[in-house]
Amino acid sequence: MNALPNLSATMPQPAGLGAQYTQVRQRTAALCEPLSPEDTVVQSMPDASPAKWHLAHTTWFFEQFILSRREGFKPFRPRWDFLFNSYYQSVGPMHARPQRGLLSRPSLREVMAYRAHVDAAMAEALAGEVSPEVAFLVTLGLNHEQQHQELLLTDIKHLLSINPLQPAYRDDLAQRRATASPLSFVDGHAGVIEAGHAGVGFAYDNEGPRHPSLLHPHQIAQRPVTNAEYRQFIDEGGYRTPTLWMAEGWDVVQRQDWAHPLYWSDDLQSEFTLGGRRDIDPHAPVCHVSYFEADAFARWAGARLPREDEWEHLASAQAAISGNFQDDDLLQPMPADEPSEGVSQLFGDVWEWTSSPYVSYPGFKPLEGALGEYNGKFMCGQWVLRGGSCATPVSHIRATYRNFFYPADRWQFMGIRLGRDVS
C-alpha cells in the first residue's frame, strides 16, 4: 500500500498503539453508558445518526480497513457492511443515511458484541509487529472514532432537546463560573507564512500539504463572542435586519423562524444542555450558531470572521493546546478560567467559524483508495471551523486541524471569534 508513504514515515512508533486503541474504544462505550437502548436507535434529523449506528460504524471502520486485509478474515455478520458503511462508494453500496434511524436491528446488545469481537481481533493484530501502514490505519481509525465521539454527543443532545420531556443526558455535569474579559483585539501577522501540516505526527490529508500563504494586515479578537454580546445583537434586531445577512442565510432565518441560537428558549433566558435546561451564562461563549449567524453578527459588530490561515498562524504560536475539552467532562462551553492578557480559548469550548470556504490546499492529494473519500469529496459548499470544542478529545486537536460544516448547521458546538481588516 504505497498510498501513504510520506504520512506513515512520520507516524509515532507502534509501541503504545494498543493502549491508545483500548483507551479510545473504551471512551466511546463510556459515552453511551447514560443512554437507554431506546436512546441509541433514534435519528432525530438527517444530519444526525443514532448512537447505535456510531458504535457500529466506527467498529466497521477497523473491520473494513484493517481486519479484512488480514489472512483468514471472516466478517462478523455478512450484511452489516451495507448497514454500517457511511459514505465510501469505493467499498460498496450503503444504507441511505436518512434511514439510519429505521434500523431497530441489530440491537444495541448485538452491536456491543460486534465491538467486542472486533476489539479482540484488533488486539491480536496489534500484538505482534505492526507495519507502518497498519499503524497509520489504526491511528486514522482512532481519530475517526474520536470524531464520532463528538458527533455522538451532539447527536444525543439534539435528540433529547426535541423531546418535550427535555431529559438530561447526565445529571452530574459540573459548571464553571467566571467573568469574561472585555473584548479586545490582537494584531495578526501580515505577509507570506507557511500554513498546513508540516508532516510530523498524524494529520488528515486535508491539512496538507504545507504551503506558503499570504496574510493581509488584520487583527483577531482575544476571546470568543459571549452570550451577553450575542444577546445584544438579538435585542438590537439582528434577526430582523436582512442587510446583515447573506441572502441564503436570510432565507433560512425566514423559513425556519430563527430568532436565537439553537437550544435557547424563546424568552432568551435558558438553554438546553447535555446537563438539562440551564440559565444562559452571559459570560460563556455563545454556542450553536450557524455560519450565517456568525457572519451576520460579525457584520453587525463592524468586524468579520478570521480567515483560516490567520487563525492557524495565531494558534500555532500558542505554547500548548489547553482549554475546555471532552476530557474536562463539562460538555458545555464555559467562560475562560481567568481574565487573560493574551489570546484565550482558541482551543476547546467552541469550534470557531472562519470566513474560509472548505477547499483544498495547493497541491492537495487525497489518500489513495477508498480512504481518499474521507475528506476530499466534501470540498464544496462548506466552511472551515477551527480549534475544537468542549466535546472534542484534547488528543484529537491540532492548530492545523480543519473541521467543516454547511453554513446553516448549528447542532455542533459552534461559536464565533471576530477578526478585522487593518488598513
Q: Which is nearer to a copy of itself, 90 or 265 (CB)?
A: 90
Three cell numbers at 343? 489570546
* Least distance (Å) between residue 319 CB and a copy of itself: 29
Cα 367–372–375 angle (5° rounding)?
A: 105
Q: Which is nearer to a copy of itself, 282 or 366 (CB)?
A: 366
CB 351 within 8 A of CB 387: yes
Q: Which is nearer to a copy of itself, 117 or 304 (CB)?
A: 304
Q: What are the residues binding a copy of itself (CB under 8 A)? A: 36-42, 44, 52, 79, 82-83, 87, 89-90, 95, 99, 101-109, 159-160, 162-165, 167, 192, 211-214, 216, 242-243, 245-250, 291-292, 295, 355-357, 359, 362-363, 372-373, 377-381, 407, 421, 423
Q: Which is nearer to a copy of itself, 14 or 34 (CB)?
A: 34
* Least distance (Å) between residue 157 CB and a copy of itself: 13
Q: Which is nearer to a copy of itself, 197 or 223 (CB)?
A: 197
* Least distance (Å) between residue 195 CB and a copy of itself: 11
* Least distance (Å) between residue 229 CB and a copy of itself: 23
* Least distance (Å) between residue 228 CB and a copy of itself: 27
Q: Which is nearer to a copy of itself, 178 or 408 (CB)?
A: 408
3-state secondary structure 204-254: CHHHCCCEEEEECCEEEECCCCEHHHHHHHHHCCHHHCHHHCCHHHHHHHH
Cis ω for the linkage preceding 407 (within 30 of 0): no
Alpha-carbon distance 323 to 346, whole Å?
A: 8
* Least distance (Å) between residue 107 CB and a copy of itself: 5
Alpha-carbon distance 326 to 392, whole Å?
A: 5
Three cell numbers at 61? 471502520
Encoded amino acid at 51, one letter: A
Alpha-carbon distance 133 to 210, whole Å?
A: 22
Burial level of 191, CB count in 10 A (0-12/13-18/19+)?
exposed
CB 336 within 8 A of CB 404: no
Residues near 237 by Cβ (< 8 Å), separated by ≥ 6?
none
Nearest in space to 279 (alpha carbons), one of 297, 263, 257, 258: 263
Nearest in space to 323 (alpha carbons), one of 334, 339, 308: 334
* Least distance (Å) between residue 244 CB and a copy of itself: 9
* Least distance (Å) between residue 215 CB and a copy of itself: 9
Alpha-carbon distance 207 to 8, whole Å?
A: 15
Q: Which is nearer to a copy of itself, 126 or 195 (CB)?
A: 195
Q: Which is nearer to a copy of itself, 74 or 177 (CB)?
A: 74
* Least distance (Å) between residue 64 CB and a copy of itself: 16
Nearest in space to 61 (alpha carbons), one of 86, 36, 96, 44: 86
Which of the 8 DSSP states describes residue 120? H
Q: Which is nearer to a copy of itself, 24 or 262 (CB)?
A: 262
Nearest in space to 64 (alpha carbons), one of 46, 41, 42, 88: 88
